[in-house]
Every structure is written in C-alpha cells, then in structure tokens.
Amino acid sequence: MALDDCIALALEHNLDLRIQRLTRTAAAIDAEGASGAYDPSLALGAKRSRTETEGTAAGTSEGVLSTTRTETDENAFSAGFQGDTSFHGLSYDLSARAGDSSGTRANNPFDTTTASAGLTLTQPLLRGFKTPATHYRIATARTLSDEAALALEQKIQSTVAAVEAAFYALIQARETIAVREKALALAEQLAADTERKVSVGTAFALDARQAASQAATARAELSDAHRAAAVAHNDLKSLVFADQRTVRNLRIDARYTLDPARVPTDPAASGDLALDLRPDIRAQRLALVRQGIEVDYRRNQTLPSLDLVLGAGVAASDEDTYSDAFSQLASADEPYWTAGLTFTIPLGNRAASAAHRQALANAERMRLELRRLEENALVEVENATAALDTGWEKIAATREARACAEDALSAEQKKLDSGQSTPFVVLQLQRDLTTARQSEIAALTDYLRLASALSLAEGTLLQRHHLDLDTSPAEP
C-alpha cells in the first residue's frame, strides 16, 4: 500500500476517529434539540365538575329564614398553542375555551354556555430582553457543536500525522534491514576470504576470529532490524485497521521511493497559516465566542424583571348552546383586551451577580489561553521550519558521508586483496559504511516526518494530502 492508501483506510476504520465522530454527532443532536425550544406546544384540556352549596335566606314577609340549595354541573374544554419566539424573549399563548354550566339555584333551574378565544403576548423589557434564556441555550449548543466539528478535524489531522510517522518508520525499518543484509554479506565474505588466507598462511588466526565475530554481530543486528520492522509494521497496522483479529495474518508492503523533494519554508507565512487554519486555535476562538454569550446572558440576569403583558380576544356568555356561543364568537360582539406591566426586583441578587463576575473571569482566562495557544503555535512553526531546513542539510551531509565510506571501503578492500592492508582495518571500514548508510536512511525518513510535522503545525496537513473531509455529524 502507498501512504495515501493507509491514510484512507485509517480515516475509515480508526477507532479513535469513530469515537470522535460520535462525539461530534452527539453535539449536533444537542444543538438540534436546543432549537426545539421554539417549537410550540399544544395544550388540550377537558374537565367536568359538580358543586353543591347550602345556605339560608329570608324566605317570607314575616322574616322566617328558609334553606336554599344550589347544585351546579360544569363542563369545561380548552385548547391552545403556547411557545416562545426568537424576538427578544417574546412568548405567546393562543387559546380557546368553552364550557357549559347547568343546575339549580334557589330551586330555580339554569343552563348557560360560555366561550372565549384570545391571544396573550408577554414581552420582557429588561431581564430576558437582550439575551433570552432560550436564545442563550441555542447559541451555546450551536457553538459547542461547531467546536466539536473542529475537535474532529483536529483528530483527523493528528491521525493522518500518526499514520505518516508510522508509515515512514516502517520504510526506515525496511531500508535498515536492507543495510544490515548488505553488512552481513560483506562481513561473511570477509570472514570466508580471511579463513582461506589463514589456511594458506597469508593471514593470522586472530584475523579470522575478528572477521567471524563481525559476521556474528551483523547477524544479530539483522535480527534486531527484523524485530524493529515487525514493531513498526504492527504500529502502522493498528492505526489503519480497527479489528486486529481479522488482519492478524495480513502484511503491509509499504510502497515508497525514499527520495524526498525539498519542501520550501517560510516561517512568517507558515505562522500566518497556523493562526488562520489550525483547528485547535479556531476552536479556542469559538470557545471565547461562547463565553461571550455566557457573559451577556449572566449580565442580563442581574437586571430586574419588567414584563409587558398584552391580551385581546372575543367572548360569548350566557348562551343557550355551544352553537350559539360559537356564533357569538364569530360575530365578535363581546371583544376584550388587556394590557399590563409586571415589575419584579430581586433583593440582593447575589447569585446572579456572582455568576456574572465568574463569567467575566472565565472570559479573561480564555482570552489568555487563546493568546498562549497562538504564541505556542508560532514557536512550534518556527521550530518546525528550522528543523526542516537543517534536516535537508543533514540529508546532503549523510549522503556525502555514505559515498565517502563506500569509496574508503572499496579502496581498502583492494589494498587488502593486494596484501597492503589487514582484515581489521577492512572490518572497521565496513562498520563505518553500515553506520553511514543507516544515518542516511534516518536523515531521509526524518525529513519526511519533519515535513509532516510542519504541515500539522500549520494546520495544512489535510490540504497537503488533498483531503476534503466532511466533518458534519454522521447519523447515529
């Protein structure tokens, strides 16, 4: 698999990303649920009641008291819509009521029907006007949802960076095995040549023992290289696949030509990119916006309550039937309206005042945290660009060192073949060449990792891999 194949599989299967996506989905559901505060509610009611009362009254001209009894049966029905609006905390109650009352009163029967329909509006003028509680909850939930989306983006970038690092580590391990195999071949060849020279008397037994020791050491180092490659392979596989049991026997063959191109660096431009694009900085700015909403709401809660209540409607009273009552409502012969103010002053109001001061303190803390995050990002970018520049210089230096080591070993091997050198010197030059080859491989793979680290510090890692990922919530 190529690097892009590994990244695509990781973005699809990585467990940490799947967890973060569910967190994002939960935050989006919370925001949707908060918006439901504007959904109206339908209230339906029906009630039947009976009352019986007994009293006395002057029933005759002689002043004799008589007993009076009242029996009343009532039926009441109601229906209405109530809810809040997005206009500065304005709430409404649109309702209709109808009922009938029948019975006897002082031995006189009665039967009457009433009805009414009206609209009542309640408008806060102080507390709840600028920052209504419903608006506060919705705005907070939406901001938290946006922050969760940025947290998902941050997790995606960190996952891509981890896959890159693991991929390059596997490449380095694979190249190290190749270097160790070459070192072992050289050591075994030298050991065999030295052994033949000992048998014909042109070399000492000590030389043979040294060459054999070098070959044994090379075999041990090759075993270590294979073990390191297995660890690197498993690290990459754990990032790419979610279920290790199903891919236990799968082997990843990383396809990559270890010849990176130079990445141009501009610390100032990279710093600007980091401040604009890094999801952690953008999330902190959103958190500061959310805290600003909190400050406004808590400040508004310190005010007294002054509510304007307006109502208007039509009524029907003392009708014979429900049909008569509804006809009377339609004709609007009995209109009514109400208007009033309700003023409530909280005495002391220490809880609201303390919550406001705490919100202000938290906002100042978050401003400082944002500034610290921005400063740390600029320093991180500066270090990453400097490391990338020196990493390129290191590639050139290690290439030159490896070429010189190859030339030195070749020349010394010719001298040994002509009897002008010793196996000990050749052994040392072989070790030097192996070290130089490993240093070159390390420099090449380090440069790739440093380029990835710079993109991560800039917040451009997804653009670097031409990834346009949807961080919107998935269906739960």
DSSP string computed for 221-266: HHHHHHHHHHHHHHHHHHHH-S-TTTTTT--------S-PPPPP--
Angle at 410 between CA 406 and CA 412, to 5 degrees: 115
pLDDT digits (tens, 9 = 90+) for 294-343: 999 999 999 999 999 999 999 998 888 888 888 888 888 889 999 999 99
Give residue-wise pLDDT tens across range 110-130.
Answer: 889 999 999 999 999 999 998
Pick the CATH number of 3-33+137-293+357-464 from 1.20.1440.130, 3.40.50.300, 1.10.287.110, 1.20.1600.10: 1.20.1600.10
93 band by pLDDT with thresholds 50, 70 and 90: very high
Q: Helix 3-13 to helix 133-200 angle, to the nearest 10 degrees?
A: 140
Alpha-carbon distance of 187 to 195, in angstroms, equals 12
User: How much is the pLDDT for 399?
Assistant: 94
pTM for this predicted structure: 0.81
Find the mean pLDDT for residues 247-276: 89
Q: What is the mean pLDDT of residues 427-440?
A: 92
Question: What's the mean per-residue pLDDT of the chain?
Answer: 90
Q: What pLDDT sits at residue 94?
A: 96
pLDDT at 395: 95
Angstrom distance (rounded) from CA 427 to CA 218: 11
- The average pLDDT across 243-252 equals 82
Closest Cα to residue 165, out of 3, 9, 8?
Answer: 3
Predicted confidence band of residue 56 (pLDDT cuts 50, 70, 90):
low
CB 100 within 8 A of CB 73: no
Q: Does 476 have pLDDT greater than 50?
A: no
Measured in residues, the chain has a length of: 476
Sequence spans of domains, the chain? 3-33+137-293+357-464, 43-84+90-127+306-344
Would you give the distance in Å from CA 183 to the centre of its chain? 49
Q: End-to-end CA distance of the chain: give it in Å, rounded.
A: 31
Q: Is the pLDDT of residue 61 over 80?
A: no
List the alpha helices (DSSP H) in 418-470. Answer: 423-458, 461-464
Overall average pLDDT of the 211-224 stretch: 93
Q: Is the pLDDT of residue 423 over 80?
A: yes
Please answer whether residues 91 and 128 qualify as being in contact, where contact means their C-beta atoms are separated by less than 8 angstroms: no
pLDDT in tens, 369-381: 999 999 999 999 9
Give the pair of three-digit tokens for residue 132.
């209504």
